[in-house]
Structure formats: structure tokens, C-alpha cells
Copies of this chain bind each other. A is one copy, B any other.
Amino acid sequence: MSRVRVHNFSISLDGFATGDEQTLEAPFGHAGSRLTEWFTGTRTFREMIGASGGSLGVDDALAGCWGPGIGAEIMGRHKFGPQRGPWTDEEWRGWWGDNPPFHTPVFVLTHHPRPSIEMKGGTTFHFLDASPAEALRQAREAAGGLDVRIGGGPTTVREFLANDLIDFMHLTVVPIVLGRGVRLWDGLEGLEERFAIESTTTPSGVTHLSFERVSAS
């Protein structure tokens, strides 16, 4: 059975995975770039955006686990874009330019479906108004036996965790206090009972946690 994985999911000490006030210019709201700085300096990220260079080391090693073995992604609408409510036009094609870094089918959860968008490089955005289980069923079918990544944001990851649909999760705790935004942990009391958890702090100052599910769903 293919696995359902979360990677490079950054949260603040107070558990916010994105800040308040998302806009076109600020995908993470008032958090700005603070949650992702550990990541954007790595070789993995540089390759994702078609650039060279970037740091090697432990942060990069963990970041690089993002891609291999993944055949589809599921993301929430607010990872796809800052719009709320019905689409006023269909020009928005995500934050990532013509050739997004996914290179697989990507299922965007939204209460306002729209026609699929085929991008360069193998990424196709599909828009789904579906439960986590139903979205996963479709993503698994599209993934052709490979794993499915839950790409965020926090509401989407939380819903998949609450429905016990996540097999592996790599979180990164950044030592900042955001104070407001969208929390990951709400409603997940006792989550640790379902996972074997490892932690490692890296010299960049962040702490990576891996959650690997111990019981079959």
C-alpha cells in the first residue's frame, strides 16, 4: 500500500504553521519568510526553483526526502492561492510559475471546484470538493502505486491527522512565537499514541520531528 506523507512542514514554537493575513505578496501572512528560512537555503529548495547551489547537511538531507516516491499531492486551497470564496476569474495558476515543482497530479481541496489546469513539467492541478478520505482515494489512483504527499496548509494536515490518514510526517519547529495564524495541533490530543516520534536539532537552530505511524489504520 502506498503511504501518505507530510514533509518540510514548518511550525512556530506556539504551533502556528502560517501567520495571519495571507495576501498575494505574503503567502504565510505576518510570518513572512521566518517559518521557511531553514528550508529556502538548502540545495533541495534551490533545485525546486531551478537554481543551483544551496547548503548541504542535515537540513538539506531532511528537506530532500520531499520528492522521492511521491506520485501525487493533496493541498488545501490556501496553499494554492490567497483567494477566498468563489473564483472571480480563473487566471490564477498557483504561486509557482509555469513549471511548478510538483511534477505530479496535485489535488486542491476547495468548496469551489474549477476545471483542471495542466502545467509544464508534469504538474496538473485538479480541484476537488471532497472529504479527506475521498480525496485520498482519487490521489492514490492518480499516484499509480506511489506515495501521496499531503502538502499543507495546516488545516489540511490537521484534517488528515484527525482522520488517521497520515503514515509519516516530517515537522520542523522554528524557535519563534508567531502569536496568531492557523494552528496545527488543535483537536489532536493524544496524537503521539499513534506514532513513533524522533527529534533532532540542527545547527541552524530548528528542531526536526519525524512521526511514523505505529498502528495500522
Give the interface of A toward B (CB within 8 A).
13-15, 173, 175-180, 183, 185-192, 197-201, 205-207, 209
Contacts and interface: CB of A to CB of B under 8 A. Distances in A.
Contact of A197 (B15, B175, B187): B175
Nearest to A175: B197
Nearest to A191: B177
Contacts of A186: 14
24 contacts: A13-B173, A14-B183, A14-B185, A173-B173, A173-B207, A175-B197, A176-B192, A177-B185, A177-B188, A177-B190, A177-B191, A179-B185, A179-B187, A179-B188, A179-B189, A180-B189, A197-B205, A198-B205, A199-B201, A199-B205, A199-B206, A199-B207, A201-B207, A207-B207
State the oligomeric state as a number of copies: 2
A177 B13 CA distance: 13
Contacts of A188: 14, 177, 179
Counting chain B CB atoms within 10 Å of each CB, the highest count among A188, A198, A201 belongs to A201
A162 to B, nearest CB: 11
A26 to B, nearest CB: 16
A81 to B, nearest CB: 26
Contacts of A209: 13, 175
A13 B185 CA distance: 8
Contacts of A13: 15, 173, 185, 209
Contact of A190 (B175, B179, B189, B206): B179
Contact of A15 (B15, B175, B189, B190): B15
A190 B108 CA distance: 32
Nearest to A207: B207
Given A13-B15, A15-B13, A175 B199 contact: yes
B200 A189 contact: no
Contacts of A205: 197-199
Nearest to A14: B185
Contacts of A207: 173, 199, 201, 207
